[in-house]
Chain A
Amino acid sequence: MRVTASVRVVLAMVFAFLVISPLIIQRYAAPKETAKAKLDSQTALARHGFYLQEVAHAAGVNFVHQAPTLDPRLNHIMPQVASMGAAVSVVDFDHDGWPDIYVTSSKEGAKNALYRNLHDGTFKDVAEEMGIADVNRPGTGVSMGAVWGDYDNDGYEDLLLIKWGKPELFHNDAGHGFTRVTEQVDLPPWINANTALWFDYDGDGLLDLFIGGYYSEDVDLWHLASTKMMPDSFEYAKNGGRKYLFHNLGNGKFEEVSAKVGINSRRWALASAAVDLRGTGHPDLFVANDYGVSELYFNDGKRFHEVGEQTGVGFAPKSGMNASFGDILNQGRYAVYVSNISEEGVLIQGNNLWVPREGTSGDHLQFENLARDFGVEIGGWSFGAQFGDLNNDGTLDLYLTNGYVSLDRNRSYWYDFSKIAGGHSTIINDAKNWPAMDGRSLSGYQTKHVWLNDGSGKFVDVAQAVGVTDTYDGRAVAFADLWNQGVLDVIVANERGPLLIYKNTVTPENKWVEFDLEGTKSNRSAIGAQVTLFWNGQEQVQEVSGGSGFAAQNERRLHFGLGKTPHIEKVVIRWPSGKVQTIEEPAPNQLYSIKEPL
C-alpha cells in the first residue's frame, strides 16, 4: 500500500499531537487545589467547614528542634544524615482529662519537652521537673521518637523513648514524675531506631513493644568504625537495623522475641503501625521501610507472617516514611497511607494509599494502591501523615507534612543525589563516596498538604486555603483535641524548626462524638480497642493506637466527625480481650469515657 503525501501529513500531525500530549495530560490531570490565596477564615469555614490557626507561641510553646552533629567524617553530607529526630506524641500523662504534648530534640545535650496542658489554652514545659528532659546526653545517643503506653496497667501512661542510641523506658509515677527503668527491663544497649509502637500482640492484657532499627545497631554515628554505613541500595537495601519485639512478661520485665515469632528483617524501618486488619482480634503490623518495600505482618496471636508481597503492599520498592491507618470510605475497613518521595523531573515514586481490594478479606486480604485515583499521590519528599476528620463532616481527611533539607533555596543537591543513588552497593554504601552537599537544599521549602475527603474516593488539597502555609522540613504529625472542644487540632514537629500547633475551628453545624477508653481485662491504655460507629446508615471504624504516622502518636481518645444531622444508631466496641460492648444511640457532641466491662 502506498502512503500518500497527505496521509504522511496527517500522520505527522498525529505524531506532533502525541508528542505534546504529556503537557496537555499533566495540565488537566493536575490535582485540584481549591485556593492558593491567603487564609480567609470565614471563607474557609463556609467552604471547607474548618480552618487552622498556628498558635504555638500564643499557647506558650516555643520549642525548636535541634539536629545532632555526628562523626566529622559525615560533615560533607551531615544535613541529610542528621535529618530526623523531630517527633511528637500526645499523652494525658497526669490523667487530668486534658491532652499533653511530648516533643523531642536531637542535638547532644538538648532537652526534650513535656508540655502540660493548663486547660486555659496554654501549655507549660514540665519535662525537667518530671525527669524526662535531659535525655540527649553525649554518649547516650539522641532522641528520635517517643510512644506512650501503660505497660504495667497502673493507670498512667509510661514513656518509651527511642534514640539513635540507647532506648529508654520511663515509668510514670502517677503523673508526679518519671522513674527510669531501662536497666530493669533490660533494653538493648544501642538501637538506631526511628520507629516504635506499643501493642498487645498476644492478647494477654499486657502491652508489648515493637522497635524498628534504621541504621544497623552496631553503628555508633558519633564514632564511626567505617564510613560504610549508608544503605547498600536505594531500593533494595537490607543492611539496616534489626527489629525488636519485646514481649511484656508482666513483672516489669520484657523478653525479646522477634526471631521466635517470625520478625526477621534488616530493612531500614522508618514507620510502623498496627491494627486488626482481618477481624481476628489480633493486631497486624505494618512497617514502612526506607530504601525498600514495605512489610506487612499478619499476626495470629503467637506468630507473625510476612505477607507484604502476597497482599500487594510489599511489591514495588520505594522510600517508605509513614504508616497510618484510616477507614477512608466508611466501610469498616482500613486503608494504609505510606509516604514516599516525589521530586519533579528526578524521582516520582508517588505516595501509596493501600485500599483493601474488593472481595478480599481475612487471610486472603489484598490491597491496591489508589493514591493516584484518590488524589493523594504526590506530596513532595513526604514524611508524617495522619488520618482524622478535620471538619467533622463524617469522613477521614489526610494531613501530610514534607520537606527534607531546606538550605540554600537556589541550589539543589538533587542531581548529585540521583547520581550516587543509581550506583552499585559498593559505591552507595560508603559515605565518603557521596558528593558534598555544600549548603544545597534537597527537596526543601515544600508546601504541605491537607487533603479533604469527599467520602466518595476523592481528596482535595485545601492546605493553603485553611491556613497551613508553613514550609518547614516537617517530620511528625499528631492529632489531638487539645482544648476539649470536639475538634482535632494538629501538632507538627519540624526538623531544625519550631513545633507548630494548628488550632482547629470547625463549623458548629457539624457534630462529633469522642470515646476515651480504659481497659480492665485488656491493657489499661486500651491500645488495640476497636470502635465502630454506625450512624446515618454508614459506619466508620477506628482503633486506639500505640503509635502511628512518622515518629508520632495521636491522642488515644478516638474522635468521630458526624456531619450536620447525625443519628447515631449504635457504637460497637471490641476490646483487645475479645469482649464486645454495644452502646445504643449515644448522643452526639459528647465525650464518652468508657471502662471495659468486667
Chain B
Amino acid sequence: MSAGESSMKNSIAIRTENLCRHYKMGDALIRAVDGISIQIASGEFVALLGTSGSGKSSLLNLIAGLDRPTSGTVVVQKSDLAKFSREELAKYRLHTVGMVFQSFNLIPSMTLLENVELPLRFAEVDRGKREGLARQALERVGLSARWRHRPTELSGGEQQRASLARALINQPRFLLADEPTGNLDSQTGTEIMNFIREFNETLGMTIIMVTHERTLAERYASRMTFLADGKLIGDQSNVASATTRNGATL
C-alpha cells in the first residue's frame, strides 16, 4: 500500500497540485519547487526529506502561507492559499498553522512569556486571558519556571521548547517544523521530537517536518517524502516509526 493510498483513509487536509515556486537570480531561474503534487491527510506526521537545496523548506513555506506559489495550487482545508489576500494569509498563519524553526526564532528582547503570548496579541485575545494561556503552554513544554527569562539566557533545547509553546498557543491544526533539531545535540533533539510526537498523537495535530536526517524521520514520522531539485522523488509510509511509538527505544 502506498503512502498516498493509506492517507486517503483520513480526510485530506493539505493538497498541492503541480506546485511551483521559481525565483529569478540574475539571469538564472531557480526552480525551488518544481511541480510538486502531494496530499497530506489530517493527523499525519510527514517528514520532508532531501539534501540542502532540494526545495523542502520552500515547500514548507508555501504550505505555511509565508510564500506564494509561482504556479499550481496549495489547498489547505479546502481553501486555495494562492487566492488568499495578504491579510487572509496572515490570519491563516495565525490560527491554522504553528511554526518552529531550526534557529528557534524567538524575539530576543522579549521574555519567554512575552514571546509565547505574542500570537495571542495578534489574535486580539484579552490581556487578562493571555498570561494564563501562555503560562499553560510553557508548562506543557516544561518551562513554567523560566517564563521570566529572555531567550539568550536559555539553552538551545529550552529555546526550541519555548518556540513549540508559541506554535501551539493559538491551537493550530498544523505544526510545520523546519529542521527543529538542526541546532540541537542528539539528546535535546530527542526531547523536542518527543514533544512533537506527543502533539501529533494527543492533540491530533498534523505535522509536517523538514529534515535532512533520515534516521530521525524513520524514527518519528508516519510518512517520508523525498525531494530533490524541487521535485518529489519518493513518498513512503513509515512502518518503523510504529515500533518507537509503542515504546521502548527512547
Q: Do A and B bind each other?
A: no
